[in-house]
Amino acid sequence: MSRILVTGGSGLVGKAIQRVIETEPEGSKYGKQPGEEWFFIGSSEGDLRDPAATDALFDKYRPTHVIHLAALVGGLFKNMKYK
């Protein structure tokens, strides 16, 4: 049984992957495979910069695989201001 944890699950790429996993037929090339559990988490569930919070997330979900998409983003104007 695979337990896939997707950090940044509330972001653009995370939501796109979640949509594919949830809409493609199970067992298809892009769909969830039999025995897989997917967990899409956002920053509201824990701050990955905090080791204790990260440990708590791993204890809660016990992933066998991690797709790390979490990033600090702020849009165009933040990027321009803080190059």
pLDDT digits (tens, 9 = 90+) for 15-33: 999 999 999 999 999 999 9
CB 13 within 8 A of CB 7: no
Q: Is 33 left (phi over 0), alpha (psi -120 to 50) or beta?
A: beta
pTM above 0.95, yes or no: no
- For the chain, what percent of residues have pLDDT higher than 70? 99
CA distance 11 to 59: 23
